[in-house]
Structure 1
Amino acid sequence: MKLPSALLLLFAGSLAQAADGVQPLEALRDSAIAAVLAQAAPSARAEALALDERLRLPACAEALRAAPEPVRGGQVRVAVSCGAPASWTVYVGVRLTDIRPVLTLARGAQRGEAIDAGLLVPQERDIASLPYGYFSDPAQLAGRQLRRPAGAGSVLTPDMVEGQKLVRRGDLVTVVGRAGPMEVRSQGKALRDGAAGDRIPVENSSSRRVVEGRVTGGGLVEVRL
Structure 2
Amino acid sequence: MKQLTQNSIIAACLLAVFFHGVQSSWARPALNNFHDRNEFSTDVPVLPNDVVSMESTLTAIPEKAIHGIIETYVRERLASDDEAIAANRIEVHTRWQGDIVVEATGEVELKVRPLSQRPFRGPTVVRVEICVDGITERTISATVDTRLYQRVAVTTRAIRRGATFDPTSIELSERDITTLRHGYYTKIEDLNLLQVARPIGFGDVVSHRHAKRVPIVNRGDEVVLNVASRNMVLSTIGIALQDGSSGTRIRVKNPDSGKILHGLVREDGTVTLGAS
Measure how far apart 1:82 and its partner are: 4.3
Distance in 1 of aligned mates of 2:231 and 2:156:
47
Measure how far apart 1:213 and its partner are: 0.2
Q: Which residue of 2 aligns with 1:48?
A: 93
Q: Which of 62, 67, 75 is the matching residue for 2:114?
A: 67
Structure 2: which 5+ residue stretches go unaligned?
1-17, 26-47, 79-83
Measure how far apart 1:194 and its partner are: 2.2
Q: Which residue of 2 aligns with 1:39?
A: 77
Is the 8 Å Cα contact of residues 94 and 144 (structure 2) preserved in structure 1? Answer: yes
Q: Deviations 1:152-208 (Å, cap 9, x if unpaired)? A: 211111222222232232222121222346322211011223232221121112232
Closer, same or farther: CA 94–208 of 1 in aligned 2, 3 Å: same
Letter in 1 for 2:155: L
Distance in 1 of aligned mates of 2:110 and 2:99:
22
Larger relative contact order (Cα-Cα within 8 Å, sequence gap ≥ 6): 1
Q: Which residue of 2 aligns with 1:16?
A: 52
Q: Which residue of 1 aligns with 2:158?
A: 108
Closer, same or farther: CA 200–132 of 1 in aligned 2, 3 Å: closer
Q: Which residue of 1 aligns with 2:67?
A: 29
Percent sequence identity over aligned pairs: 24
Q: Which residue of 2 aligns with 1:169?
A: 219
Q: Which residue of 1 aligns with 2:125?
A: 77
Q: Which of 218, 221, 229 is the matching residue for 1:179?
A: 229
Q: Which residue of 1 aligns with 2:272?
A: 222
Letter in 2 for 1:208: G
Which structure has the larger Rg? Answer: 2
Letter in 2 for 1:49: T
More helix by share: 1
Closer, same or farther: CA 131–190 of 1 in aligned 2, 3 Å: closer
TM-score by length of structure 1 reads 0.78
